[in-house]
Amino acid sequence: MKKIVSCALSLVLFFTSLIPTAFTAYSEDYGDTLRRLGFPTQYIQKLVDLHSAHPNWIFEPFNTGLDWNTAVAGERSVHSKQLISKSSLYDSSMYCRCDKCFVNGKYVIQESKNWVSASQTAVEYYMNPSNWLDEKHIFQFESTAYDGTQTKQGVESILNGTWMYDSLITYRTTSGKTKQYDSTTKYSDVIMKAANDAGISAYYLAAKIRQENGGAQSSATAVNGTTSPFQGIYNYFNIGAYSGAMDGLSWAAGFLKTNCNATLYSKYDSATGIAGGTATAIKKGQYMTWRANCGNYYFVRLYDEFNGSYVEGLSGYILKNQCRDSYLDSAGTGYGRPWTNPYKAIYYGAKYIAKSFGAQTSNYLQKFNVNPASNALYQNEYMKNVAGAANEAVSTYNGYASAGILDVTKKFMIPVFNGMPESPAVSNLTVAGFDSKNVFLTWSPVDNASGYQVEIFSNNSWNFYARVSEPYLSVENLSPCENYGFRVVSYKQIGTDACFDLYSNEVWAATTPHKLSKPTATSTQSSVTIKWTPQNLADGYSVYIYDKKQGKYVYYADAAGIGTSSITLKGLKSNTYYKFKVLAYRNINGTVYTGALSSYIPIRTLKKNQIQLTSAKSSKKQRITVKWKKKNNVTGYQVMWSTTKNFKKNFLSVKVKGKSKQSTTLKTSRSKTKYYVRVRAYKTSKGKTTYYPWSVTKSVKVK
């Protein structure tokens, strides 16, 4: 039996802004459909999520009509039929500690070396369908009925990773010789034929084989063909393996035994058809493994079974009429036994499963027989491994995913019980704060929860974000100006698996725009123009001005529109010092989300007739190109440059005549030196020159 496959792999600054809960993200219509079908509340959200991801999947409730507690008790009526591997994968809560399963301080080994009885906690966990309504484990509820759309490629995908993948059937005979079934038949071929003839799902058969005996090598007891005393006998589905694989081989061998006191001969003469040689007396009821048919004789290998151990005896020839062979090749109960090659074991094994589990039409029902129509409640179960159905579901999922056929139409029959335990839901999920990159969530704790799983809605789907142990989380590194949904589900840790409860309410929060980086400003005598780099998705920008009376920045103007990168503020006083800040905002569903104010932008409006110096740059050695805005009603412009900021030494000036002039190139005496530049207009009238105020000073490093 396989070990269980594992399911599914700090508080920061508190933000002050609050956001109201918004709309739910899933289709209420489909949720209502599931309710009308009769699914309990704890199934709904999980099935809605699966439907959203796989619209072609069909979910139908399988109403058992059984009380949940009664059904659990029924499955545990014989503790030795619900087993779990005692290993580091589980804690002690998964093992039964009743006085029959825990004796003298030790767990009673029920099978093999490490399989013990599962506790009620373990049985309830694996038996409760609401714990398995995820993309992988849902396949334990898939209908096992034959599906003509299934392909050989899909079967191969399920077998991938085992020795059977894309392989011809090769095996050992009852005489120990290696033989190939034929030159064309692969394991996937016999699985496809068995599925068609038995009326059962090919993918189900492939997953079942992989779960029971799959591995990188064909070394498992039931399929290696070398296990004494059943050499050359195969049982790919472990049918009849009630206490281990050896029991399954005994079943596959056909329970051949003597029906009277008989004689075993050491030799057989094929020419005369008579056995001879050494004769050994055999008592009635002696078990034997079939090796070959020889006329009126069976060539057999004797064996005895003592307390679960099988001991090999002599091989020889015995008259057929001295043997009970009713389970060999019988149409009613033989199922083609003995299964002396993989083809027979798979083909007839499928027929046995189809007939034996007719009303148990899913892996789940074959593990937990809760279908009253089977007339064998809590019995006739395929395996003892309490996690078997969940494990096989993962193999089926992996096969579908590898073959690219996850989204084809599939039907899932999901059991429903009366009085099922209600799963608790996280309540009061709240957005306690947010900024441009983070959203801080809080919620009410759930009693006895091991932890909480936080999921985020982005890119049109719910996605895992994190698991935490405390009822709060800062969701970090988000994109600014984006709308996100959040939900939380509590879980209990059972061994290495997480048992999930119901989802919380959903909350939505939009991250704010980020803080604008270094806006710039230029001025005229009566206006200031502020520029910035626009943000993706921002709907506009607000400008704030420093109010000396209030001692703070107050709203002043708005620059609406996606992609807006500047605003000109008019009607300002000349020669006046101002300070501005700018923030970005976004409107989402009627709520405006604002970013942080930028760093302050100092600017002085120009004096009357003061020139606006727009740039001073050096692109050539010992050269400065100066540009300004022209002014009407002037004669020209004076440009001054100096190595000192106050222009009191090492300065030169030049006049540029003409009111339309807007630039000039200066020659410096030094290279790789920082220079300061300013410009002013002048006007000459009647021989008198009037100079206007100097512009602001700009610095430039000369090449």
The model's pLDDT over 222-274, given as tens digits with 9 standing for 90+, comes to 999 999 999 999 999 999 987 789 999 999 999 999 999 999 999 999 999 99
Q: What is the distance between the alpha carbons of residues 94 and 76, in angstroms, rounded to a whole number? A: 13
Lowest mean per-residue pLDDT among 203-212, 245-254, 325-334, 541-550: 325-334
The model's pLDDT over 530-552, given as tens digits with 9 standing for 90+, comes to 999 999 889 999 999 999 999 99
Instruction: Write out 448-496 in H/E/C secondary structure.
Output: CCCEEEEEEEECCEEEEEEEECCCEEEECCCCCCCEEEEEEEEEEEECC
Cα distances from 531 to residues 484, 598, 615, in angstroms, run: 30, 12, 16
pLDDT at position 363 is 93
pLDDT at position 691 is 94
In sequence order, which ranges of 54-95 are alpha helices (DSSP H)?
Answer: 68-75
pLDDT at position 88 is 66
The model's pLDDT over 372-406, given as tens digits with 9 standing for 90+, comes to 999 899 999 988 999 999 988 998 898 888 878 78
Strands (E), 196-322: 256-258, 262-269, 274-282, 287-294, 297-306, 309-319
Phi first, then psi, for residue 288 (nearest 5°) are -145, 155
Counting residues of the chain whose pLDDT is more than 90, the rounded percentage is 75
Mean pLDDT of 605-628: 94
Instruction: Say which residues have a Cβ less than 8 Å from residue 148's Cβ, sequence separation at least 6.
Output: none
CB-based burial of residue 245 (10 Å sphere; 0-12 exposed, 13-18 middle, 19+ buried)?
buried
Q: What is the distance between the alpha carbons of residues 490 and 472, in angstroms, rounded to a whole number? A: 12
Residue 276 and residue 267 in contact, taking contact as beta carbons nearer than 8 Å: yes
The model's pLDDT over 556-595, given as tens digits with 9 standing for 90+, comes to 999 999 999 999 999 999 999 999 999 999 998 888 999 9
Lowest mean per-residue pLDDT among 167-176, 262-271, 585-594, 670-679: 585-594
The model's pLDDT over 90-126, given as tens digits with 9 standing for 90+, comes to 778 889 999 999 999 999 999 878 899 999 989 999 9
Identify the bridge partners of residue 678 per DSSP, sorted by sequence position: 640
Mean pLDDT of 203-207: 90
Q: What is the distance between the alpha carbons of residues 27 and 72, in angstroms, rounded to a whole number? A: 34
Instruction: Say which residues have a Cβ less than 8 Å from residue 247's Cβ, sequence separation at least 6.
Output: 240, 241, 308
pLDDT over threshold 70, residue 465: yes
pLDDT over threshold 60, residue 618: yes
- Nearest CA among 168, 318, 189, 178 for reference residue 258: 318
- Nearest CA among 554, 558, 583 for reference residue 568: 558
pLDDT at position 13 is 29
Tell me the one-letter amino acid at 661.
K
Instruction: Write out 290-336 in H/E/C secondary structure.
Output: EEEEECCEEEEEEEEEECCEEEEEEEEEEEHHHEECCCCCCCCCCCC
pTM, two decimal places:
0.58
Instruction: Say which residues have a Cβ less than 8 Å from residue 207's Cβ, sequence separation at least 6.
Output: 139, 158, 363, 392, 393, 395, 396, 399
Structure tokens at 30: 């489909």
- 557, containing H or E segment: strand 552-560
Instruction: Say which residues have a Cβ less than 8 Å from residue 587's Cβ, sequence separation at least 6.
Output: 539, 593
Q: Is the peptide bond before 471 cis (omega within 30 degrees of 0)?
A: no
- 49, containing H or E segment: helix 41-53
**Mean pLDDT over the full length of the chain:** 90
Q: What is the torsion angle, in degrees rounded to the nearest 10, for the CA atoms of residue 360, residue 364, residue 366 and residue 372? A: -50
pLDDT at position 589 is 82
- Cβ count within 10 A of residue 632: 7
pLDDT over threshold 60, residue 149: yes
Q: Taking the CA of residue 266 as centre, how many other CA atoms within 13 Å lie in the half-sphere pointing to its CB?
A: 5
Q: What is the distance between the alpha carbons of residues 460 and 140, in angstroms, rounded to a whole number? A: 28
